[in-house]
A and B are shown apart, each in its own frame.
Chain A
Amino acid sequence: MPIKSEPVEVNIGPQHPSTHGVFRMVAKIDGERIVDVKMIVGYLHRSMEKLAEERTFTQNIPFTDRMDYLAAMSGNLGYCLSVEKLAGVEVPERAQYLRVIFAELQRVASHCMATGAFINDCGAWQTPVMYAFRDREKVLDLFEMTCGARLTTNYMRIGGVAFDIPDEFLPALDRLINDDLPFRFEEYDQLLVGNEIIMMRARDVGMVSPEMAINASLSGPLLRSAGIAWDIRKADPYCVYDRMQFDIPVGYNGDAYDRMCIRIEEMKQSLRIIRQAVHDLPGGPHKTDVPLAIRPPAGEAYSRVESPKGELGFYVVSDGGPAPYRWHVRAPSLINLSVLREMTIGKSIADAIVTLGSIDINVGELDR
């Protein structure tokens, strides 16, 4: 006689140690196997797109910090690029190089956090997060040195960057990228990449095929893990990325393990870019003179950057006034989640947690 059983509904989140914020997954579970997943978001919705319509273009920059609070510089950069594209503002060379340096430092910080949190989701008891925080702190120290803030930097401006780097910045950066971080990344390689338990946990988990990845508009490490060499920095070079030599790490299988390896490799590539940018860093002004209440001509612009989470796009419509008529953010965290259901169905709860960790969402950006 078959045993009569029915699936149990379990709320994973909004208050759960591994949902990376206030994100809720309603999972229907049959034993340990997930039958259906529904995601519920919006706990951190701050209606930034509406608020932005009532503030000037410059006043909107802090919003981009608060979106992806783990990668504030990338948000700043993407937004400023879109307004500059709309208004036709020329950015001085030095500012462009500084932007590249800070965006790449931010990528290192964000990927550190993502890798650490991912291993934590695999069940290691806080150690990887602490290691990752240790390395991230050093990057944030540099941010603090330059713009006074560690997390919500508000550093980029329309037409450049807010401040030039202080004198002690370059020696500190040199120590960081030549002595400190390469050693740490070697440690990551030894501890994580060959780790049997992590392989057992993350191989074949959260699989995404190339067709699925493109159809679901995935971007960032999620798309690259599926075997597609796509990086906005290469495909649609902004700032001075076309002058930099770097590689795109690409996985074979599209599973969580590949994504972790890709993040670690990308951090190394970021260091490579920073070294070149520091070497070529020109003098000159760090900002063009742009009126604080800039009024771009009526029109629209869509510009995108490769943020650590994926393709971060800003669609700005102006009616000629000092505030954007409409401001839309293409949030990679939100769009990357569209495959969550396909990735988790049929797997166990533990796999679902690992999958969510490997997507690397940021709820601040997801809910905006």
Chain B
Amino acid sequence: MPHAATLTLAGTHVADRIRTALPDAIRSASADIVTLEPASAFEAMRFLRDDEELDGKFLVQMCSVDMITHIDLVYHFASLAQNHIFEVKVPADHEHPEVPSISPLWSGAILQEREIYDLMGVKFPGHPELTRLFLWESFPGHPLRKDFMSMPGGRKSGLSQFPKQVAGETGQEFRPAAPGTGE
């Protein structure tokens, strides 16, 4: 029987379940977030799609977050039959981000991966046609990255970053605080 309202699975529960099949696939797990090892992410996702208990047949959405030190790919999976939802993250390198494509598993990921490639610059090996989705091919840079179009002196136009962290006129490169360390 499906749950009456969507149940959000605890990250530790998901991690435990994945560990039964792929012991090395989990990098870290907390109550909210499961972080997968990028190297075995594809296998882990195949497992959580086909697993009976996790049953993540429905890829709700995927997106990317620039965390300055790295880029997080955020996947939300749902089981329509059991009506639960859980979140999985895959970290990628900031300079040369590369995450295996999951479009062989979910055809709904094809366009979303193209969007992420376009706006965040994450490459997806295994994607059938990894071209830019919204912008034209020669567009410089990837707009959703935090260092896109930073102003002279390292200033950013962002509201949250702009006010106080530009310390001194030294011209040192500005790096906004990672989430969680803000005020």
Contacts and interface: CB of A to CB of B under 8 A. Distances in A.
Interface of A: 41-42, 45, 47, 49-50, 53-56, 212, 214-218, 228, 230, 235-237, 242, 295, 298-300, 302, 304, 311, 313, 315, 317-323, 325-326, 328, 330, 334-335, 337-339, 342, 367
B157 A302 contact: no
Contacts of B158: 53-54, 323
Contact of A49 (B6, B60, B144, B161): B144
A235 B2 contact: yes
A304 B177 CA distance: 28
Nearest to A211: B57
Interface string B32-65: 0000000000000000000000000111110101
A304 B132 CA distance: 26
Contacts of A302: 60-61, 76, 87
B167 interface: no
A236 B59 contact: no
Given A42-B134, A236-B6, A304-B60, A334 B159 contact: no
B112 interface: yes
B50 to A, nearest CB: 12
A54 B159 contact: yes
Given A304-B60, A315-B63, A335 B111 contact: yes
Interface residues of B, number: 47
Contacts of B177: 319
A55 B74 contact: no
Contacts of B74: 300, 315, 328
Contact of B159 (A55, A214, A328): A55
A325 B133 contact: no
A339 B5 CA distance: 28
B108 A335 contact: yes
B160 A216 contact: no
A228 B57 CA distance: 14
Nearest to A334: B111
B107 A313 contact: no
Contact of B107 (A50, A215, A300, A326): A215
B20 interface: no
B143 interface: yes
B135 A319 contact: no
Interface in B142-157: 143-144, 148, 157
A321 B160 contact: yes
Interface in B106-155: 106-112, 115, 119, 132-136, 143-144, 148
B182 A45 contact: no
A215 B181 contact: no
B14 to A, nearest CB: 15
Contact of A315 (B61, B85, B148, B182): B61
Given A338-B107, A338-B110, A313 B160 contact: no
Contacts of A237: 5
B179 A317 contact: yes
Q: Which of A218, A230, A319 has the most CB of B within 10 A?
A: A319
Given A54-B159, A236-B85, A338-B111, 13 more contacts: A41-B133, A50-B119, A217-B59, A217-B61, A300-B74, A315-B76, A319-B176, A319-B181, A323-B160, A326-B66, A328-B63, A330-B61, A335-B108
A367 B134 contact: yes
29 contacts: A47-B143, A50-B144, A50-B148, A53-B158, A54-B159, A55-B159, A217-B60, A217-B109, A235-B5, A235-B6, A237-B5, A295-B183, A302-B60, A313-B76, A319-B177, A319-B178, A319-B181, A320-B180, A320-B182, A321-B159, A322-B160, A323-B158, A325-B65, A328-B63, A328-B74, A337-B111, A338-B107, A338-B108, A339-B107
Contacts of A218: 108
Contacts of A45: 134-135
A327 to B, nearest CB: 10
Nearest to A39: B111
Contacts of A320: 179-180, 182-183
Interface string B77-113: 0001001010100000000000000000011111110
Contacts of A328: 61, 63, 65, 74
